């Protein structure tokens, strides 16, 4: 019996052990869920009966049998229309509340506003760098009430001058990471209210203001990420590409906001045509796992998806290099099992009859076996 056959037998036993363990855990969870669903079903019976016996549904059934076309009421409000109106109301409430921080509406004859007059004058006639500095100082004083000036800073980001663009990105990154996000995940307005029947719920003004602010912060942060993506794609110099990748790395390490988007951007760089950039992406992903061990399974699954979906052989190779070098985290449920499954399936693919005499595939198979042996000894 060959070494490969022995490893396959051992791995089959390991996988069967994990499957039986998972089934026990799933059965316990299902028992708890069944108890909860039984209680919910009794509460929902009346609702379901009302729904099926609703007089409007009978009317619709009769109309379907008629040959005449049903007339559509164009004036009827759709949920999207009411959501847009609610968003507009939230926007108006926000700017009404933040009006004391609107530099265009202040009375500069009062002593209390003299310091703000300096910021106002610079924004009107100052140099580019002075505008960035004054905007940063003003936003830092009260980030929640100065959304107007954060958006003004983003408008400076469209400058084609590389140096100016870099200055704005650094300023925005500092504001988001040090003063605005504060370790919180922000939710878009449509996610907050999109699934609710807006007419039948009471929403306070404070809730609307908070939801509007969160929506704008979420979208503006995505805009910053998007601008960094464009820099990585369009920038011809590897040094500047790496700098943008470093910014994304710093953002995902420090804050959970939009981490899925940033992680996807870093993983996509495994397929970069420049080996210097793809190798740098491998190093950043290693560093990310080292700083956030709890993200290990998430990173593994995302890179695995990238590996299976890409048609680029170099990208596949880089993804496999990273996956085979991942640290085995202790206490992260499911990581070891998923790793064994993935490499075991790869081993079977490279062990086909067509690949028996192929040196290239045998070399890859040997590296996969080495990784499987390492995973086996970690159990």
Same domain, 209 and 87: yes
Kindly tell me if the per-residue pLDDT of 337 is higher than 80: yes
Same domain, 208 and 232: yes
Please tell me the distance from the alpha carbon of residue 234 to that of residue 238, in angstroms, as a whole number.
11
Please tell me the distance from the alpha carbon of residue 46 to that of residue 40, in angstroms, as a whole number.
11
Domain endpoint, select from 215, 231, 257: 257
Mean local confidence (pLDDT), 369-376: 52
Domain endpoint, select from 257, 291, 326: 257
Residues with Cβ within 8 Å of residue 158, at least 6 apart in sequence: none
Whole-number pLDDT of residue 220: 97
Task: Categorise residue 175: left if φ over 0, alpha if ψ from -120 to 50, beta otherwise.
Answer: alpha
Residue 97 lies inside a defined structural domain of this protein: yes
Please tell me the distance from the alpha carbon of residue 315 to that of residue 308, in angstroms, as a whole number.
10
Residue 150 lies inside a defined structural domain of this protein: yes
Give residue-wise pLDDT tens across range 213-243. 999 999 999 999 999 999 998 888 999 999 9
Residue 23 lies inside a defined structural domain of this protein: no
Give residue-wise pLDDT tens across range 31-52. 555 555 555 454 444 433 444 4
Residue 274 lies inside a defined structural domain of this protein: yes
Whole-number pLDDT of residue 28: 53
Residue 20 lies inside a defined structural domain of this protein: no
Kindly tell me if the per-residue pLDDT of 56 is higher than 50: no
Residue 126 lies inside a defined structural domain of this protein: yes
Please tell me the distance from the alpha carbon of residue 151 to that of residue 220, in angstroms, as a whole number.
8
Kindly tell me if the per-residue pLDDT of 367 is higher than 80: no
Please tell me the distance from the alpha carbon of residue 178 to that of residue 364, in angstroms, as a whole number.
45
* CATH at residue 269: 1.25.40
Same domain, 221 and 90: yes
Residue 114 lies inside a defined structural domain of this protein: yes
Same domain, 110 and 159: yes
Structure tokens at 188: 């878009």
Same domain, 237 and 352: no
Mean local confidence (pLDDT), 22-26: 53
Same domain, 197 and 335: no
Kindly tell me if the per-residue pLDDT of 27 is higher than 80: no
Give residue-wise pLDDT tens across range 93-107. 999 999 999 999 988
Same domain, 105 and 249: yes
Q: Which residue has the higher pLDDT, 113 or 38?
A: 113
The number of distinct structural domains making up the chain is 2
Residues with Cβ within 8 Å of residue 123, at least 6 apart in sequence: 103, 131, 134, 135, 152
Percent of the chain clearing pLDDT 70 (strictly above): 69
Q: Which residue has the higher pLDDT, 209 or 199?
A: 209
Same domain, 249 and 322: no
Mean local confidence (pLDDT), 172-187: 95
Structure tokens at 125: 């006639």
Among 117-121, 138-142, 162-166, 198-202, whose mean pLDDT is lowest? Answer: 198-202
Same domain, 223 and 310: no
Please tell me the distance from the alpha carbon of residue 151 to that of residue 185, in angstroms, as a whole number.
19
Whole-number pLDDT of residue 65: 47
Q: Which residue has the higher pLDDT, 346 or 325?
A: 325
Which of 330, 329, 332, 371 has its CA nearest to residue 350?
A: 371
Residues with Cβ within 8 Å of residue 307, at least 6 apart in sequence: 315, 316, 319, 320, 323
Name the residue range of residue 359's domain: 262-379
Domain endpoint, select from 257, 289, 318: 257
Q: Which long-range contacts (CB under 8 A, 24 or more apart) does 56-60 make?
A: none
Helices in the chain by DSSP H: which ranges? 3-52, 55-65, 79-97, 114-125, 128-141, 147-155, 162-175, 189-193, 205-234, 238-254, 259-268, 275-291, 296-309, 313-324, 335-350, 359-378
Length reported for the chain? 379
Whole-number pLDDT of residue 265: 96
Give residue-wise pLDDT tens across range 260-313. 999 999 999 999 999 999 999 999 999 999 999 999 999 999 999 999 999 998
Whole-number pLDDT of residue 62: 42
The overall average pLDDT reported for the chain is: 79
Residue 365 lies inside a defined structural domain of this protein: yes
Same domain, 274 and 198: no
Same domain, 341 and 364: yes
Which of 218, 220, 123, 136 has its CA nearest to residue 170?
A: 136
Among 1-10, 136-145, 220-229, 332-341, whose mean pLDDT is lowest? Answer: 1-10
Same domain, 231 and 283: no
């Amino acid at each position: 019996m060959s070494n490969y056959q022995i490893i396959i037998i051992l791995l089959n036993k390991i996988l069967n052990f994990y499957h039986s363990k998972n089934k026990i855990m799933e059965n316990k969870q299902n028992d708890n869920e069944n108890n909860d669903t039984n209680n919910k079903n009794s509460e929902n019976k009346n609702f379901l009966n009302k729904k099926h016996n609703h007089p409007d549904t009978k009317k619709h059934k009769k109309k379907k049998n008629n040959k005449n076309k049903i007339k559509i009421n164009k004036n009827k409000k759709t949920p999207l229309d009411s959501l847009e109106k609610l968003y507009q109301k939230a926007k108006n409430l926000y700017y009404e509340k933040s009006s004391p921080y609107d530099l265009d509406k202040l009375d500069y004859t009062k002593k209390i506003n003299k310091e703000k007059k300096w910021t106002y004058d610079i924004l009107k006639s100052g140099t580019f760098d002075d505008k960035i500095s004054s905007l940063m100082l003003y936003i830092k004083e009260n980030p929640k009430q100065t959304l107007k000036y954060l958006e003004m800073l983003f408008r400076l980001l469209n400058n084609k001058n590389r140096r100016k663009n870099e200055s704005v990105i650094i300023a925005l990154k500092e504001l988001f990471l040090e003063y605005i996000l504060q370790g919180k995940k922000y939710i878009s307005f449509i996610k907050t209210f999109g699934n609710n029947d807006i007419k039948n719920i009471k929403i306070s003004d404070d809730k609307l203001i908070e939801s509007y602010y969160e929506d704008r912060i979420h979208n503006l942060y995505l805009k910053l990420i998007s601008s960094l993506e464009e820099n990585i794609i369009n920038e011809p110099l590897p040094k500047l590409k790496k700098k943008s990748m470093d910014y994304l790395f710093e953002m995902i390490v420090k804050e959970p906001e939009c981490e899925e988007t940033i992680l996807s951007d870093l993983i996509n760089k495994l397929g970069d045509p420049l080996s210097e950039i793809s190798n740098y992406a491998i190093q950043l992903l290693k560093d990310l796992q080292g700083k956030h061990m709890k993200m290990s399974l998430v990173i593994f699954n995302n890179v695995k998806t990238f590996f299976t979906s890409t048609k680029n052989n170099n990208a596949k190779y880089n993804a496999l290099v990273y996956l085979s070098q991942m640290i085995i985290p202790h206490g992260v449920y499911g990581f070891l099992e998923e790793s064994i499954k993935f490499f075991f399936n790869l081993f079977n693919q490279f062990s086909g009859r067509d690949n028996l005499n192929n040196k290239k595939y045998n070399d890859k198979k040997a590296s996969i076996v080495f990784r499987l042996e390492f995973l086996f000894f970690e159990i």
